[in-house]
Structure 1
Amino acid sequence: MIITESTRQAFGDELLVLGEEVDNLYVIDADVGKSMKTVPFQQKFPEKHVNVGIAEQNCAGVAAGLATMGKLPIISTYAVFGSMRMLEQIRQSICYTKLNVKIACSHGGLTPANDGGSHQGIEDMGILRTIPGMTVMMGADYNSTRKLLREMVKSHVGPAYIRFTREATPGIYDEDERFEIGVAKQLREGNDVTIIAVGDVLILALKAAKILEEKGIKARVLDMHTIKPLDQGAVLKALRETKGIITVEDHNIINGLGSAVSEVVCENNGGIVYRIGILDKFGESGPYEVLLKENGISVDNIIAKAEKIVKGE
């Protein structure tokens, strides 16, 4: 069944299932349990839930300590705090020591909308992908987020970051869809252009590809749910088989998906890459869809870029 719901709700729902299956699983909260949907986990597994209060650096320290004792901790907070306020502790206490700690953050990108720039984590994935040993991912909808979270907890070993949306996102995947960390999913075939998206804006890529098909342009669409490690094979295949690449993300165009894809392209004889994302500026208060459009994160802009590629402009 395809579900339209926020990906932070997917986090809370899957935690309850994983809590039954993984004996050593712990959730470390920074006093945002209601918002992060971890209250049901706390109620069901009170002995496996730790609320450190509004002290995110302590989240990292407590999680690191638990990991050294054989536990599997998941830090739960907002993207602005999980990527910046406790960055030094993530680097020194978790990544440098290669501990199996997971960081789960909501309110990534512009999804906090009316809360404004102070709460919109537009740099998080870029910041954390620069730290050695860190895996960085984001599901596009409810079902994909549950599957990626499960993979992160049950199959992946080492530091990992997963990002969620605050608001509901349109459902794309069926609940039976399989996901592998570091392996992109191709949702549409095409040899004219490739659209690579991450997170909830994948739906914009799919809508654009459908309109482009009506215009006679075949667009390949990739869900690059993991931006580190990036699926370089999928990028290189797109580079060989299509005329250019468009990346789409609700993240600063610097150091996010667009930068990661461009690095691969530049190191392999080059090609056309258009980056669509937040235009290296802070967000502001307003409806989510309006904020996206102000940064060119729209179906129309994806179509315009694809047409430029096909025309050789």
Structure 2
Amino acid sequence: MSTNASSKPRLKTSAMIASIAGEGQKTRSAPFGHALVELARERSDVVGMTADLGKYTDLHLFAKAYPERFYQMGMAEQLLFGAAAGMAHEGALPFVTTYAVFAARRAYDFIHQAIAEDNLDVKIACALPGLTTGYGPSHQAAEDLALFRAMPNLTVIDPCDALEIEQMVPAMARHRGPVYARLLRGNVPVVLDEYGYRFEIGRAKMLRDGADVLIISSGIMTMRALEVAKALELDRIGVGVLHVPTIKPLDTVTILREAKRNARLVVVAENHTVIGGLGEAVAALLIGNGVTPPFRQIGLPDAFLDAGALPTLHDRYKISTSAISETIKVWLR
């Protein structure tokens, strides 16, 4: 294809389905849907369930491959999770999808009472986490991690890219008990393949080291942290990146070990409100263990966020690569 500006295809996006991938970035299509189909080939107990959002959570791939194991519950999220609990009681392994706002705000009590209290094997994967849609507060799940961190028995995962999602699905199936995972869907960036990465529940991984700053991050903010590290190399600033995909349980040993090293500025970056998420979890861990490096948080404000195009919103709320780079340089002065 010609690179002449007049012949370049125009990128079409919407606030709901806009990709978080940068122009020219490697992506994989529907990693969750493909991984679940692969899992279902090996495990006959896997069922897929959704609340009228199969197409928008990549579960349509599972529905096509295994229509007899797919359950479309309609726009009834409380019914969805109650039914998933019943399926688990009968020996099925339900993978349940919806938007994160609907699970965290609309069906929280049903997940709490019907699934988590009985420690059932229900695996919940929810799209549009944090600021990955521009549709405004009705669809932006800026507080889901805070809510689900507080739920007993629940494992909480925030994956970075397509590779991690592909590895996360079978790991969720092997794990005993309920799991909540944030879901990136559609054309999802691939970044962790450059680091020989393997996902493990409850394990944080150092992706790169740096003498001046340690960024502790989860989800798409690990992708941003890696971009920031490369950008700040030009200013001779060494940035280490510790990826923490499991928000609960935290890998306390790795986080404490890395936070103690080199007297670095420690920055927690998350695609979530600064209240109740990874930042406050890490801060409590450090203080509770007498580890007190210089500490800062990068995250979404305690506010209802605006609607609009994602690049504009990421700049506005200072979670874009350029905004994070500038913020860190100010903190190091």
Task: Quickly say closer, same or farther: Cα 1:161–1:262, change in 2 above 3 A.
Answer: same
Is residue 234 of structure 1 aligned with residue 254 of structure 2? Answer: yes
* 1:243-258 map, 5 Å: 243-258=264-279
Q: Which runs of 5+ in 1 are unaligned?
A: none
Residue 132 of structure 1 deviates from its aligned partner by 0.9
* Of 141, 161, 164, the match for 1:121: 141
Distance 2:111 2:267 in 1: 32
Q: Cα RMSD (Å) of the superposition? A: 1.9
Contact 1:64 1:99 in 2 (8 A): yes
The Cα offsets for residues 163-204 of structure 1, whole Å up to 9 and x where unpaired, read as: 123564432022974211111121111232210111122222
* Of 84, 91, 97, the match for 1:63: 84
Is residue 265 of structure 1 aligned with residue 286 of structure 2? Answer: yes
What residue in structure 2 maps to residue 196 of structure 1? Answer: 216
More divergent stretch after superposition (265-274 vs 115-124): 265-274
SS state of the match for residue 119, structure 1? coil
More divergent stretch after superposition (85-94 vs 210-219): 210-219
Amino acid in the other structure paired with 2:274: I
Provide runs of 4+ in structure 1 moved above 6 Å.
none
Distance 2:261 2:275 in 1: 26
Q: Taking structure 2 as the reference length, what is the TM-score of the superposition?
A: 0.87
Distance 1:117 1:284 in 2: 7
Distance 1:305 1:133 in 2: 36
The Cα offsets for residues 177-233 of structure 1, whole Å up to 9 and x where unpaired, read as: 421111112111123221011112222211211222232222110111111111111
Residue 265 of structure 1 deviates from its aligned partner by 1.1
* Of 15, 27, 39, the match for 1:4: 27
Amino acid in the other structure paired with 1:291: L
Distance 2:306 2:63 in 1: 33
Task: Quickly say closer, same or farther: Cα 1:19–1:42, change in 2 above 3 A.
Answer: same
* 1:95-244 map, 5 Å: 95-113=116-134, 115-153=135-173, 155-166=174-185, 168-174=187-193, 177-242=197-262, 243-244=264-265
What residue in structure 1 maps to residue 319 of structure 2? Answer: 297
Distance 1:131 1:194 in 2: 29
Is residue 78 of structure 1 aligned with residue 99 of structure 2? Answer: yes
Distance 1:286 1:117 in 2: 11
What residue in structure 1 maps to residue 72 of structure 2? Answer: 51
Distance 2:222 2:160 in 1: 6
Q: Taking structure 1 as the reference length, what is the TM-score of the superposition?
A: 0.92
What residue in structure 2 maps to residue 27 of structure 1? Answer: 48
Aligned residues: 306
Q: Percent identity of the aligned residues?
A: 37
Contact 1:196 1:247 in 2 (8 A): yes
Amino acid in the other structure paired with 2:141: G
Is residue 274 of structure 1 aligned with residue 296 of structure 2? Answer: yes
SS state of the match for residue 79, structure 2? helix
